[in-house]
Amino acid sequence: MATLLFKLAFLAILTSTVSSSFTPSFFNWINATFGEPTAVSLNRADLGAGGSFGGGTHNGLSQTSKRPILIVHGITNTAGTFNNQRNYFLANGWSDETVYGTTYGDGGATAVQNVKMDCAFVMQVRNMLIVVNGFTQQKVDVIGYSLGSPIARKAIMGGNCVDNG
């Protein structure tokens, strides 16, 4: 019982501290390696705390001890929609250096029936894959939810979209 309470308290602390954008070391590494537009567009600070997550205190100069996970959210979601799933991994052996998310699209501002599978969504996820792969120096495991699945698939296959040739 005490252990369970401890775990719940620990989860509560995690939940309250992990709703954030990229950590400074990750943001700065992207900025230094790929430039500010890439860092800003993947960080999605425009969406607030749920726009993105990941990075931990890793500096990008070595391989992370574990293969990272990239969670790709569904239609009209944000990365933060998957905080529970993120917390699950953080509580089960993954660290903030190895669980990542970014947001494609406008996080629900556009009504669901008007959202199409935009090439920009695919490229957002592809850029995120490239950045996480470079930063962790590891292959990346990808979990896609709903629309996030076909988008992640296209991103993995090279990012070719109908509207970019």
d(Cα 46, Cα 58) in Å, to the nearest integer?
A: 24
The nearest distance, CB 60 to ligand NAG, in angstroms, is 14
Least Cβ distance, residue 22 to ligand NAG (angstroms): 11
- Closest distance to ligand NAG from the beta carbon of 47 (Å): 17
Which of 139-149 are b and which e, b meaning 16 or more Cβ less than 10 Å from the residue's Cβ?
ebebbbbebbe
Nearest residue (CB) to ligand NAG, 38 versus 138: 38
Q: Is residue 87 a contact residue for ligand NAG (CB under 6 A)?
A: no
The CA R_g of the chain, rounded to the nearest whole Å, is 16
Binding mask 124-143 for ligand NAG (x = CB under 6 A): --------------------
Q: Which is nearer to ligand NAG, 22 or 82 (CB)?
A: 22
Q: Residue 58 or residue 154: which is nearer to ligand NAG going by CB?
A: 58
Which has the closest alpha carbon to 128: 65, 89, 73?
A: 73
CB 80 within 8 A of CB 50: yes
Q: How far is the CB of 36 from ligand NAG (least distance, A)?
A: 5
Using CB under 6 A as the binding rule, whether residue 31 contacts ligand NAG is answered as: yes
Helical residues (DSSP H) of 21-139, grouped into ranges: 24-34, 36-43, 83-90, 119-136
Residue of closest CB approach to ligand NAG = 31
The H or E element that residue 5 is part of is helix 2-18
Q: Which of 36, 46, 141, 163 binds ligand NAG (CB under 6 A)?
A: 36
Q: How far is the CB of 151 from ligand NAG (least distance, A)?
A: 26
The whole-angstrom separation of Cα 162 and Cα 165 is 6
Q: Kindly list the residues in this chain that would bind ligand NAG in the complex (CB under 6 A).
A: 31, 36
